[in-house]
Structure 1
């Protein structure tokens, strides 16, 4: 079942008119906002299911909320009754507040500006669309008898349809608002809840068994009787003392082993990551391979020590900008650099031959500073020169991903590199005739997220 085809069938022109009438907005604007809320809710759920907690919460919400396809089957009749419609919106808003905590207001503001409707209308549509989306998913869960992991896998099966369906003007706002960078890059996957639970259960069983074998569960002492059987009493006291010694010995053994393994033999990493999403390799521009820079090896940075940079990297223009900054612990993170001398064939994601050297140089820098994390920001204004159907936003995003893939091919950890596209870089506010139109851009910027 294609989720978005199903949603389009549910939100028929008749349904769309009834929704517009309820929120008291023009049909065209209400339809635009309703469509945007579908992408918002679906994208938020997609992001949510990259964690085990999110998978469980979504599945439980569908089951406990009795979302099984009944709502969408009777939607036309339901929307004729204002009281029933209000009840659905209220329930949907409660559900989205639980699934996407503290985001309802910001989502409402975003969609309100996007579709040029009142904020209250956007919030009402968010509640209604949430209920519809959950009901469509619930129907699929019921028909296919899916568990929580099956539902998460189904959502990710729709990722490509989701990416292709989002309107171009909504896409950058949606990515930023919901932090969908890894999902858009194809570098995220649903959390594997079942395997994790089984592993936890096995671990708990093993620990329980080990504990009961080494430490007695209880030590008891019998009071001395008046029968005069002093020998029996002494024997009982002797057993009690022996058990105490066993417990003490076991405790000392455990303490000794704890000390042995916690005195510095375990390495603790202080590196933060760009995202907690489960990582897969990007699928963009896999044919663009960059060999590791000759004569360079990764340098391990010690506490308070600035890693040395190879002479190969030091000769390049990118290194001349980056190495003084990365090597200065006082310089704040977040600075943006334009990657020099990097260019693509017009309208494509193919690097020019002269650009390969600067990418190799970037690989060398990333190896020399293993704690550094970066975000590649692409801009493009030449989409019309390439294949049909590719917009400047698409091209800017794919070019940034292409550079990222080159770094991954060279052995740089996926967690250290993020990639986004900004289109031409020009943002035009509808109706603002006083805005000064900036020139379009074609470049790749590098923002240092962590040093």
Structure 2
């Protein structure tokens, strides 16, 4: 049976947290727990509704992953402190914008009316419930290693728990006739289809075997990288005797197992595009970001990293950026990161998500086997849910196939 997130939230707040919340929101004695349950159920209904599309489900997985950095260990202290409460509600407002979109105001009005509250109190209640619920979802995503399908299953499991808690009129605001209708959308979008792409998805990288061959692989790939560079630099001379230099970016092509040739459909490589917003010198860009007190928490830092099609073992072009990231992690013990894998929209959505997760885990395993504490690195596969370019063009697809680093927590030492 799926976890009951409503019960988990009430248990987490406890009597002291609920009491402090009631005082902060001006709720009458005995009303707070019921009001919070209604607000939390409304948030979960909105999340379930958003999970009805692949992009929405991917966005929820991203929000849940980022929510693990929120410290809600002492709810009563947060609710009793004006500044902390404002910060929490600012976070909750951003979450509601992403979860409910243009339905937010309507949902707040329905909630407020059902509880006999004015709009301001109803909005404050919902902005408080959203980060509490998302934080719990984030912990489950992290502890259970949930991917998009796992998150969908978790949300679908909440249907029975929130059925009698959501306010009358909420489903209409979400453009749905019933919770079952919302659930059916999610089931359709997350059910794997029988495709060759899905059938050939490799298993996730495992730490136990990875460490044995990690450094020999890196050494061997490093030799290939160096030889390739030398070959490119000495490739040819022009008619005046000058040396013609090719571009510095090196692509060492790998052929899929069992094939004799490499072509655009069976052996092409997923490559982080050189003109991404934060590409180029990954190490310098990342260090500059950490040194900037005004950091954008959603900033992506693409790794220059390559994989064979449908494969999750990086080739030699991955070495410089991954080694730089290992060094940055060693130099900044207060730094925690998430490795996100992304694909283009070609092929089966679920298989793409699985492949992106395996690639993110492979990079995470490289860091852990190099000595980085496993609690400092999470890995998540986003599939094609968060494109940065148009998937209708080959150039756009290349941009969307990427492995990126995001900072989840940073305390300068």
Q: What TM-score comes out, normalization by structure 2 length?
A: 0.44
Query: Which structure ranks higher in relative contact order (CA pairs < 8 Å, sequence separation ≥ 6)?
Result: 2
Q: What TM-score comes out, normalization by structure 1 length?
A: 0.40
Bigger radius of gyration among the two: 1
